[in-house]
Structure 1
Amino acid sequence: MTTSYEGSQIMPDHSSDQYPVDATNKVKRRHDRGFYDHDTVHALLDSAALAHVAYVIDERPFCTPTLFWREGTRLYWHGSSASRMLRNLSKGEPACLTVTHFDSIVLARSGFNHSADYRSVMAFGTARLVTDLVEKDRALTMMVDRFFPDRTALLRPTTGQETKATAVIAMEIEKASAKIRARGVVDDEEDYELPIYAERLPIRTVIGTPEPCPRIIPGVERATTLESYREGRHLEEALLEAYQLAYS
């Protein structure tokens, strides 16, 4: 599967290991858009910063946005120790973490064929509260360094109260699927003869001009490790590069 769309470079690699497929993660509609190989799933996760975690509390569904990161087939996210979500997951609960890369809006010649290009992941597992102090300390370091490699070493040490106030959740990916649409305008064959305008509107998240804190002490310069985040670059490219540097 290939595409010429800029910004959709992360494509399936059928040679890598696969996540098991069953009724939970199998793409039900448009099977051709579903992929289960580790390389595709992991690349889409690593080039995203914000995920949504879905879970159930007292038979009611909730979905919470959160920053996250991946280590092998394990996902981590964090939040306040007082968070309802994290308190609910502290004993181990089924959860689903999702990310979406929104690549375009598609205007076709019929309402039925209007669509969007996207790359998404759904990851399923049992979320648990990280209680081991060594694992938690490492996770709190990577919570920063996954996005900004080696930055933690430049910061003031985290206080005991800050560590206590922060909860970390880990979830081993038991099943996962990626779903990708990268087709642009696709109409019914007979509709191409209609005098109706159609187009694809590319969507990009681009890094703007950095805005230094006005209270920075004179002489303090921007770290070279932030070079991934430069003006005009696509955010997903910067995130993927930062991830690779952090775990190299």
Structure 2
Amino acid sequence: MKEYTKSKLNRVKRGQNRAVYDIEKINEILDAGFLCYVGYIYEGNPISIPMAYARKDDKIYLHGSTANRMLLAILQSKKTSITVMHLDGLVIARSGLHHSVNYRSATLFGSLQKIDDDNEKSDILELIVNQMIPNHWDSLRPMHQKELDRTLVVEFTIETASAKVRAEGVNDEPEDYELPIWAGVIPVKQIAEYPIADKGKPEKMNIPNHILEYYHQNKS
């Protein structure tokens, strides 16, 4: 079992019993989604925004317009942090203080570089598309050169990371357990609804198998 080395940067201080440093388990959290939150400083103001991403080995890939101020800012600083979080349940306690959520979250710290090679950029964009919908890239038309020219691709190397996971029930005060108040967990998950065709030709086409496969795997 390989773990990230604990340091002041990545060590979980509150709720240390929920801390995870295992690389494989953190990668599982990353691979379970495709949206992350990226932190950066713009003109002295801290900002965090959601971005689509893909992971390959110890790399996280982001993309956007060549004028994207967040990507330009983190490239200039050469460092950033990235957070991925999945909400798994609402923990309903007998008191407001003990309400909580079940979740899986990972925070990554690392360095960045810009990807300039067009072939490498195309490969990375394929990773990002396929992390959202598996096997989708091959069904798309090839990218135009002007699209590649307008796209900024950034490679983030995970240098250290940590995760927190809560997957348990209610933790109320001992004296509150006999109160006539309902308590428990409401499981929460993101589901896919049946695909809706765009106007025009797609309305007359069969839905591709890989789209239907995604729907069936995520509909409940």
**What is the TM-score with the length of structure 2 in the denominator?**
0.91
The match for 1:29 is: 14
Report whether the alignment pairs 1:202 with 2:168. no
**3-state secondary structure, aligned to 1:134:** helix
Contact 2:53 2:128 in 1 (8 A): yes
1:190 aligns with 2:175: yes
1:234 Cα deviation from its structure 2 partner: 5.6
Aligned to 2:59: 74
Tell me which amino acid in the other structure corresponds to 1:144.
V
Q: CA deviation at 1:231?
A: 4.7
Name the residue aligned to 1:94: 79
Of Structure 1 and Structure 2, the greater helix share is in: 2
The AA in structure 1 aligned to 2:157 is E
Secondary structure (helix, strand or coil) at the match of 1:173 reads: strand
Matched-pair contact (CA < 8 Å) for 2:193–2:219: no
Q: Which amino acid counterpart does residue 22 of structure 2 have in structure 1?
A: D
Structure-2 change in CA distance of 1:234 and 1:170 (3 Å):
farther
CA contact (8 A) 2:94 2:181 kept: yes
| Matched position secondary structure for 2:120 | helix
Tell me which moved more, 129-138 or 96-105: 129-138
Paired residue secondary structure (1:136): helix
**CA distance in 2: counterparts of 1:25 and 1:175, whole angstroms:** 7
1:216 is displaced (CA, Å) by: 2.0
CA contact (8 A) 2:134 2:214 kept: no
Contact 1:184 1:200 in 2 (8 A): yes
Match of 1:61 in 2: 46
Shift of 1:36: 0.8
Amino acid at match of 2:43: D
Give the aligned partner of residue 173 of structure 1: 158
1:107 aligns with 2:92: yes
Greater alpha carbon shift after TM alignment, 214-223 vs 75-84: 214-223
Q: When you count strand as a share of all residues, which structure comes out higher? A: 2
For structure 2, the residue ranges without an aligned partner over 5 or more in a row are: none
Contact 2:4 2:21 in 1 (8 A): yes
Whole-angstrom distance in 2 between the partners of 1:232 and 1:206: 9
Change (3 A) 1:199 1:149: closer
Deviation at 1:217, TM superposition (A): 5.4
Q: 1:189/1:34 Cα in 2 relative to 1: closer, same or farther (>3 Å)?
A: same
Deviation track 1:85-139 (CA, whole Å, cap 9, x = no partner) reads 1122334521111111111111211222111111101011112222233321211
Alpha carbons 2:33, 2:132 under 8 Å: kept: no
Segments of 5+ residues of structure 1 without an aligned counterpart are: 1-15, 236-248
1:214 aligns with 2:199: yes
Root mean square deviation, CA, Å: 2.0
Aligned residues: 220
Per-residue deviation at 1:64? 1.3
In the alignment, what sits opposite 2:140? 155
Residue identity over aligned pairs, in percent, reads 34
After TM superposition, the structure 1 stretch with the greater mean CA deviation from structure 2, 152-161 or 179-188, is 152-161
